[in-house]
Amino acid sequence: MGAQLGGYPVMGAQPAPYLVNFRIDGSEVASAAGTTDGLDVRGAAFCTVSDGGGNDITVVFNRAFSSKPYVVPVAEFANGACTLTVSKTGFVLAGLERDDNTTGLPNIDWSISITGYTEAFAVSN
């Protein structure tokens, strides 16, 4: 027998969820806004990225979320961390040294996971 999907059907209108994963190659990110340099293929289809100077990277979503999404950046660099500012339209992350949270680290590679919702609704009977 084949596997069956379990669970309860959606009984009312709910916002459509999004789960997006992509990578940023920090050394490839260009300073010009609106480019996809430094993004993998999934990221390039979802957003644009620019180097804000120093250790800042600015990401702008191609389509805004209806509410501020959950963004989880993971530094692919030993001792890497960040400060993160998130909005409905994108986010800015500033690479930092995890030991002191003050020394900037430019050109860090990042794995990004985003969970959010759009204004579209999924309805099932």
Q: Cα angle at 58 between 57 and 60, to 5 degrees?
A: 150
Q: What is the spatial order of strands in the sheet that 80-87 belongs to?
A: 47-53, 56-61, 90-97, 80-87
- Rounded to two decimals, the pTM is 0.82
CATH topology of domain 14-118: Immunoglobulin-like (2.60.40)
Q: What is the reported pLDDT for 125?
A: 45
| Local confidence pLDDT in tens for the 125 residues of the chain | 445 444 555 555 666 778 999 999 999 999 988 888 999 999 999 999 999 888 999 999 998 888 899 999 999 988 899 999 999 999 999 999 988 878 898 899 999 999 988 765 555 54
Q: What is the reported pLDDT for 123?
A: 52
User: Where are the domains positioned within the chain?
Assistant: 14-118
